[in-house]
Structures are given as structure tokens and as C-alpha cells.
Structure 1
């Protein structure tokens, strides 16, 4: 959970001591999937009713049954969680396109498409109907998008996804490329609006290809990990030796190096503590950095939060990362397949989960001098 979105501590102070409240806010809530629960898919509430059961058995609800089958396949698909969330928004017409924002009475919205400058932006126009999108579909997958203009965009997408499911063996890569192209169009649209980038079909194809490669690399990595699970190493870690946790292949041409630091300071007189985290990209845009105050109950927990923040912020900016940290305990926890420190266990799980969306990640133990840029940012944030 993003700590910036958590309840303000002033709400808690009245019920607990400051130390108790800080301990509560320092607890990391993992973003992993929760356990399955039994539910009835033919009512909005998920609870069974006699009426819904009758219509289900009578065959009147056959269309709903087909929808249910589609969603079952959809949620089980081995794709990035962000892609599932993105597609869900498309199917529910919930993406913040210009027409949707105007319908919600958001003031100051320009209805014109930022890429073609000639028509109003709708979901179908953005993803399929405008000329730049049609060129992308034709060039990347050989799809003549104009032939589907009579369909709602949601049905057009579902038809292709259902086709790929039926021909899974021969269309597995096409399914990934199809979803990746939708995502790339949306990402580039946002680049044009919020970063002033010039519309460029080649940029869309580059984004789509990059994310297709990431997903396929992640799948291969997971297959290897599953095949070798019985042969996992349980190395004896030495704090004085070189420490590194690595996944993936460094062959990527775009690997960024980040330094991270988590500061944690306890006031001996008041017995209270405070923490900050920071990261900085040392070989790219000098503005790629972040620093903030957090709730953490130890130095290693603050450092783990710093690494989590760094890889989450950089998740869609680079396919590969080298992260430098001066904390040995976090590296040890990352390298271990068993719980080594309950204080950071859930944070480590989220780090590993997000790391699977990268082609390559390496987390290296270095000396304090090498992370001084991040340490300076964290110190400034703590004093602010």
C-alpha cells in the first residue's frame, strides 16, 4: 500500500501512544493476491438467490454464462497485473479519455484527440479508429482495424482475445503482442499529453515490443525457477563477502543504475524514531529521484522500503536495473527462500514480485560512500 495514501497519523494519536501508532504504520501490507473465496458469479453481490439460480438452470442466462467464461480466462491469464487492470478499465469504459472526463463534468477538458488533432477523443478512436492506430495494428500484427469499426471497441478486443484463446498454441505470442499494443498506444498517448512528446508510430511499436519481451522473459524465468525449485541454493551468507541478488539476463541494452538509502534514527532521550527513504538514478535523467518520510521501525526495514519504492517507481521506465544498497540484511533476505527477518518479510515478497516484471535486476551491497547521493536526499527529507 502506498504510504502516502494511508490514514493521517493524527487520527490514531488519540487512541494509541505515538510509538504504537508508528508501529502500526510501519507494518507493510503486501500487494500479493488474497486467498480465494466462494461466491456466486451470476449476481452482483456474489450471493446466491433462487431467482438467479432459476434463470441459470433455464438457459435464459446463456449470454451471461459466456461472459463468465471469458472473465475466468481473463483473470487467470499470465500477463502483467497492470495489463489486467488496464483491460478491465477498457471493458468497463473507465479509462480517462477526453469523452469520459467530459461526461464526468471535469472542467477544462479539450475533447480533441492529441495525436490526430482532427477528431474528438473516444476510447474507440484512440485505440483503433484513428489513422495512427490503424497503421500500428497493420504494421505490428497485420490487423486491418478499419474492418472492425462497426463493433464496439470492447467487443472488438474481446473477439481477438477469444480467437487467441481458441488457437492458443499458434497464437500465444500474438495474444501478448495484441495486449502490449493496446498498452503501448495508451502509454504513448499519455506521453504526448503530459510530457509534450511528438506523436510517433515507431515509438508505440517500440513500447509494445519492449513490454512483450519483458513478459516473455518473465514467463521463461518462472518456468526455469519451477523446474529448478528442488535444487535451490541455501548459501551461507557472510557479511564481509560480496553480496548480490540477481534475476534475469543483463543482455538488455537499457540497464539503469540506482542508489538507494533508508535512514532510521532513534532519539535516545525521547525513545522516538523517524525514518526516510530515497533513491536516485546515477546514469540517466538527473531528475529521476525520489525522497520521502515513512514509518519504519528499524534501519533494515527503512532500507527495504527504499528498494521497494525504487523498483516500483522505475517499473515502466527501464527493462533493467542495478540497485546499490549499503545494507547487508536486505540482500540476505532477498537471496533467501525462507523467512530470515519477519520485520521485512512482506516487503521482500513485494520486491520480488515487482522484480519479475523486469528483464534484469541486480541488487548489490556496496559501501556507504557509493550511496551518498541517495543518503543526502534521505537526510534532507528527514530534516525538512
Structure 2
């Protein structure tokens, strides 16, 4: 996070006025204000205090896992919708699981009917550790998620993301196996 903040500061330093007592958070919000047409996850969810979330993410030891969850929280994974927004040509923006809906973040990770059984499996797995565990917009922001449940969120999101191009060869069993492997790898390196 600090590396990313430093890169953004270097990019926008001519437009940011530093004072003696300015905090990193204030610098971050100054940078956000300089970015055109960009609404951040913090701006969309002003009712949520992100300090605890960023502390959880900063505590993830593995850079690849931390970066992936950071992208999940910021809704920055490259879905069909994002590819169209960025002007990428020659892609099919449909959901690769159902092939009926536009692939948005919410559709892919929360709403896709083809992933309903897999989501149910993951929720039941998470409820063995926390009876209130669910997969929702808030849980994918890591809001009120216990640290021991982060491997479940990582396993779920990474499995859905990584397997979406496997098409017809994918079934519930394969998703479950990949999910458990992703969780195991996360726990091993964090």
C-alpha cells in the first residue's frame, strides 16, 4: 500500500500541497481528489470505516495474495465491464459462467446463478467458523470479516476469477477442489 501511495504521490506531487502535520490518509484523499472521473470504493461506501480493512490487508504477508484482495476490495479486477470501459477490443463481455449476463463485479462474484451451488458450498464452509458468514458486497469489502475468514474470501474470489475461462469443462467438483487448493496456498504463505 505504501509503495502504491508513493507512486501516486510522485505522479500528482505538483498538485498536492504538503503541510507540516499532513497524514498519509490526507495525502491519499488529496490524490483521490486529483484523479478525474474516478470514484473510489471509499467514496462509494462513506458509511464504512476502512482503517480496519486496510490494516487487515496490510497484514497479509504474501504480496500476490495482498494485491489480489486489494483489487477485490477496490472492485479493480478486469471484468468484461471494465474491459469495455477501458476500450479493449475483441473481447466477449458476457459472464463466462452463465453466458447470459454482462460480466460486472457484482454479477460475477455475487449474483451469477450458475455459481449459486458453489457460493452455497463456500458459505457453509465459512459458517463452520462463523455462523453469520455470507458472501455479499460487504463481505467482499472485508467489512466485519474476522481475520481467520480471509482465506475463505480469498479462496472463493480467486477460484471464481481464475476458473471463469474454463467453460464447459468446469463443474462444481472442480470449483470446490480449486477453492480448497487456493485456501491451502493462502494459509501456507500468510
Shorter-chain TM-score tier: 0.5 to 0.7
**What is residue 186 of structure 1 aligned with on the other side?**
161
Instruction: Report if aligned partners of 1:99, 1:122 keep a CA contact under 8 Å in 2.
Output: yes
Choose from 88, 92, 96 the match for 1:114. Answer: 96
Choose from 201, 205, 222 the match for 2:176. Answer: 205
Aligned pairs, number: 150
Structure 1 residue matching 2:169: 3-state secondary structure: coil
In structure 2, the CA distance between the partners of 1:210 and 1:105, relative to structure 1 (3 Å rule), is same
Structure 2 residue matching 1:162: 3-state secondary structure: coil
Once the two structures are superposed, the pairs formed by residues 211-360 of structure 1 within 5 Å of their partners are 211-218=182-189
Structure of greater Rg? 1
**How much has 1:45 moved relative to structure 2?**
5.0
CA shift digits 1:28-47 (9 cap, x unpaired): xxxxx98xx9x823223589
In structure 2, the CA distance between the partners of 1:95 and 1:218, relative to structure 1 (3 Å rule), is closer
Choose from 64, 67, 82 the match for 1:82. Answer: 64
Structure 2: segments with no counterpart, 5+ residues: 7-21, 31-45, 128-133
Structure 2 residue matching 1:163: 3-state secondary structure: coil
Flag the structure with higher helix content: 2
Q: Does 1:68 align with 2:51?
A: yes
**How much has 1:180 moved relative to structure 2?**
0.9
In structure 2, the CA distance between the partners of 1:125 and 1:65, relative to structure 1 (3 Å rule), is closer
For residues 45 and 81 of structure 1, the distance between their equivalents in structure 2, rounded to whole angstroms, comes to: 21
Once the two structures are superposed, the pairs formed by residues 86-105 of structure 1 within 5 Å of their partners are 86-105=68-87
C-alpha root-mean-square deviation of aligned residues, in Å?
Answer: 3.2
Instruction: Report if aligned partners of 1:98, 1:112 keep a CA contact under 8 Å in 2.
Output: yes
Structure 1 residue matching 2:26: 3-state secondary structure: coil
Structure 1: segments with no counterpart, 5+ residues: 1-32, 48-62, 166-171, 220-384
**How much has 1:69 moved relative to structure 2?**
2.7
CA shift digits 1:235-256 (9 cap, x unpaired): xxxxxxxxxxxxxxxxxxxxxx
**How much has 1:107 moved relative to structure 2?**
1.7
Structure 2 residue matching 1:212: 3-state secondary structure: helix
For residues 82 and 139 of structure 2, the distance between their equivalents in structure 1, rounded to whole angstroms, comes to: 19
**How much has 1:158 moved relative to structure 2?**
2.3
**How much has 1:218 moved relative to structure 2?**
4.3
